[in-house]
């Protein structure tokens, strides 16, 4: 995927001397839009734990029924990246954003049937404040997992804004449900759920069979614009459907943006 994105950017910038007719260079007009170009650059950044901490220094092992935290004190940055993975066992965890001593403006309940094939990958807004990320393992002692968190790169930090620009959203009113079948060739799916500043209370489920969730994110935040839900699903198998449920009352709609890769 990174090679494809890099090639796309290179081809767009080079423009048009790739083909000739009778020895005369022919101008080829790029067929890639600016939005697609920006998406190619951002998706090249990567969601994996290796992208978060190349040297592995930020990885912490989280045993069952325990928690780990990461502190962030850079007021110039507003987005952190979180990844959870296991050796193939289920991942069942809570992820919380702490601002100050007793304010938790965003919390997530996450689940993955296989933390190796389908790791948990998300971006969380810190609102340009001193913040702490807590990851709590809700599983039993036999189900540990690894977790890492770090400030997102500029490209990754732009995703919650760039994905909605490139992919028009679908409105989902409070209490409503939306399902989207995915292409069999897709390897990843990026999802952004956001509101116009009101609360966001929703659940995303990745289904690989009827009513068989392989991976789940359930989020609550008091501001779905500052803390939009931005997640990435790995799709190792074909035949996937993403199901999104707005758990909030009817007066709190959210907007769904999907980017298949």
| Model pLDDT for residues 41-54, shown as the tens digit of each residue | 434 459 999 999 99
- Greater pLDDT, 209 or 145: 145
Residue from 112, 130, 125 nearest 216 by CA: 112
Pairwise CA distance, residues 233 & 180, whole Å = 14
- pLDDT-based confidence at residue 211 (cuts at 50, 70, 90): confident
Task: Tell the burial category of 206 from Cβ atoms under 10 Å away from its Cβ (0-12, 13-18, 19+).
Answer: buried
> Hey, which bits of 139-240 come out as E strands?
145-151, 170-172, 177-181, 188-194, 200-207, 213-221, 229-234
- The pTM is what? 0.83
Pairwise CA distance, residues 135 & 189, whole Å = 23
Residue 32 has pLDDT above 50, yes or no: no
- pLDDT for 45: 55
Domains in the chain, CATH or no CATH each: 2-32 (no CATH), 49-260 (2.60.120.680)
Window from 10-19, 194-203, 233-242 with minimum mean pLDDT: 10-19
- pLDDT-based confidence at residue 235 (cuts at 50, 70, 90): very high
Residue 9 has pLDDT above 50, yes or no: no
Cβ-contact 162, 38 below 8 angstroms: yes
- pLDDT for 119: 98
Q: What is the mean pLDDT of residues 152-164?
A: 96
Buried b (16+ CB within 10 A) or exposed e, 154-193: eebbbbbebbbebbeeeebebeeebeeebeeeeeebbbbb
Residue 28 has pLDDT above 50, yes or no: no
Q: What is the mean pLDDT of residues 237-244?
A: 96
- Greater pLDDT, 38 or 230: 230
**Contacts with 50 (C-beta within 8 Å, 6 or more apart), sequence order:** none
| Model pLDDT for residues 106-148, shown as the tens digit of each residue | 999 999 999 999 999 999 999 999 999 999 999 999 999 999 9
Instruction: Map tokens 């325990």 to a residue.
Output: 66
Share of the chain above pLDDT 70, in %: 83
Averaged confidence pLDDT in the chain: 87
Q: What is the mean pLDDT of residues 230-255?
A: 97
- pLDDT for 189: 97
Q: Write out the H or E segment, with its range, that includes residue 96.
A: strand 91-99
């Amino acid at each position: 995927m990174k090679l494809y994105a890099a090639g796309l950017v290179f081809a767009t910038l080079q423009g048009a001397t790739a083909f000739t007719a009778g020895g005369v260079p022919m101008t080829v007009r790029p067929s890639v839009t600016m939005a697609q170009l920006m998406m190619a650059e951002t998706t090249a950044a990567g969601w994996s734990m290796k992208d978060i901490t190349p040297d592995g220094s930020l990885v912490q092992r989280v045993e069952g029924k325990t928690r780990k935290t990461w502190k962030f004190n850079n007021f110039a940055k507003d987005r952190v990246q979180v990844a959870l993975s296991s050796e193939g066992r289920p991942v069942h965890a809570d992820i919380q954003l702490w601002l100050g001593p007793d304010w938790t403006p965003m919390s997530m309940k996450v689940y993955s049937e296989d933390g190796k094939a389908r790791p948990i990958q998300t971006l969380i807004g810190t609102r340009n404040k001193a913040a702490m990320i807590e990851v709590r393992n809700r599983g039993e002692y036999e189900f540990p997992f690894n977790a890492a968190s770090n400030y997102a790169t500029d490209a990754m930090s732009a995703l919650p804004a760039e994905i909605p620009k490139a992919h028009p959203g679908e409105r989902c009113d409070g209490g409503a449900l939306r399902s989207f079948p995915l292409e069999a060739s897709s390897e990843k799916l990026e999802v952004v759920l956001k509101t116009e500043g009101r609360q966001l209370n929703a659940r995303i489920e990745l289904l690989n069979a009827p009513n068989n969730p392989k991976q789940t994110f359930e989020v609550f935040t008091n501001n779905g614009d500052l803390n939009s839900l931005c997640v990435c699903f790995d799709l190792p198998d074909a035949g996937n459907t993403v199901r999104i449920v707005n758990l909030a009352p009817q007066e709190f709609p959210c907007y769904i943006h999907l980017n298949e890769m």
